[in-house]
A = this chain, B = another copy of it.
Amino acid sequence: MNGQNPIFIPGPTNIPDRLRAAMNVQSSDHRAPDFKEIFLPVLADVKKIFKMSGGEVIIFPASGTGGWEASVTNTLSPGDKVLVARYGMFSHRWIDLCQRQGLDVEIIECAWGSAAPADLFAQRLAADPEGRIKAVLVTHNETATGVRSDIAGVRKAMNASDHAALLFVDCVSSLGCMDFRMDEWGVDLAVAGSQKGFMLNTGMAIVGVSDKALAAMDSARCPRCFFDFRDMLAANQKGGYPYTPPLQLIHGLRASVDMLLEEGLDAVFARHFRLAEGVRQAVAAWGLTLCAQSADLYSDTVSAIYVPEGLNSDALTDHAYHTYDVSFGVGLGEMAGKAFRIGHLGSLSDLMVLSGLAGIEMAMKDLDYPIELGSGVAAAQAYYRKTAAGNTQ
């Protein structure tokens, strides 16, 4: 790879120059006053991205997986029951993590391509009057299938049975890209990462924790140390960190949050929708099908696209990579070989997306897909023209 082309994987994203510059800072002393002066306001401003008012934002030097681990080890105890639906690779992995932490995971198996089943959650919760279920875990955006779940609907289901379980949401590949409302949706703990909507290097698990989730902290008996909320909160309160902080990433986060807030979250979401919709128009023009089962589930950060029967999606992404120097997401888990994914999150423009569509078209044509060169591009162009800001032509 020459690094000339954008990447079209669903994270890490293409990093804007402003953020590369922000992360390219020399070491400084994390015990000196200026660390605090940058760190504490960042924590406060990340709350705006989560749309949370109370609670705490906690940042670990880790990947999103570390955030999942922190979420359950800080609030639950071995043997505790959690309720999760499995409808893709990332919900699957969170389930696996819970099981390895000794939790009792009640799994609702769903078709890949479907979303979190609010109705089934409602049934299971209603069937648990003793409150044995301590937490409901939901993957907001299932990166493997390009499906966005209705978190507000899950909360409604929980409220319907007046269940006290905590609501934990993986918003790693949605936060800062699609609407997310911690407070309004009653989310108790949300896990995000630096390398998706924040457009930064991988290396921070960014966790929003409600006051209710924080209240569970002291009784939680899962062993933990690196990911212990208590050490982190105690240190943060004094403007410090319990171990060496990821300084450069924190500087990057400052700039990233500034970028998101300068643009305005609504504009950020509208931009993601618009770019995603162009991709979907291209998929339709190609005569291909999205993994997401219905339009209300479409993710605005990633589209998983079935390849025609008899073709292997891995051959397609491999060919695109080797011949056109461009990366798309492979099919994961059940989708392996059957679907490829176009990531369209973070720092992207109309032209960047069009270049990706043009690239995958060439690769598809090379591999005898029944598509017409330029057709997907044209469909996306038509949509982008129509919806271009200030385009009065």
- Chain A residues within CB distance 8 Å of chain B: 1-7, 9, 11-17, 20-21, 23-34, 60-66, 68-69, 78, 96-97, 100-102, 193, 195, 201-203, 222-228, 242-249, 319, 321-327, 329-330, 347-352, 354-356, 358-359, 361-362, 365-368, 372-375, 377-379, 381-382, 384-385, 388-391, 393
17 residue pairs from A and B, CB less than 8 Å apart: A3-B16, A3-B25, A4-B14, A4-B352, A9-B31, A23-B248, A29-B321, A60-B62, A202-B248, A323-B390, A351-B355, A354-B354, A366-B385, A366-B391, A368-B393, A375-B378, A377-B378
Interface of chain A, helix or strand or loop or mixed? Answer: loop
Q: What is the total number of copies of this protein in its complex?
A: 4
Residue among B16, B246, B319, B323 making CB contact with A201, cutoff 8 Å? B246
Given contacts A7-B27, A226-B65, A367-B393, whether A202 and B244 have CB atoms under 8 Å apart is yes
The interface centre, meaning the residue of A60, A351, A361 with most chain B CB atoms within 10 A of its CB, is A351
Q: Whose C-beta in chain B lies nearest to the C-beta of A349?
A: B4
Q: Whose C-beta in chain B lies nearest to the C-beta of A93?
A: B243
The interface centre, meaning the residue of A11, A201, A327 with most chain B CB atoms within 10 A of its CB, is A201
Given contacts A12-B247, A247-B12, A359-B354, whether A323 and B97 have CB atoms under 8 Å apart is no
Q: How far is the CA of A202 from the CA of B330 in the complex (A)?
A: 30
- The answer to whether A365 and B385 have CB atoms under 8 Å apart is yes
- The answer to whether A225 and B97 have CB atoms under 8 Å apart is yes
Given A1-B29, A63-B243, 20 other A-B residues pairs in contact with their CB atoms under 8 A: A2-B16, A3-B25, A3-B26, A11-B244, A15-B27, A24-B24, A27-B195, A29-B327, A61-B202, A62-B66, A62-B226, A63-B226, A324-B349, A326-B351, A351-B355, A355-B355, A358-B381, A366-B391, A368-B393, A374-B377
Q: Whose C-beta in chain B lies nearest to the C-beta of A328?
A: B29
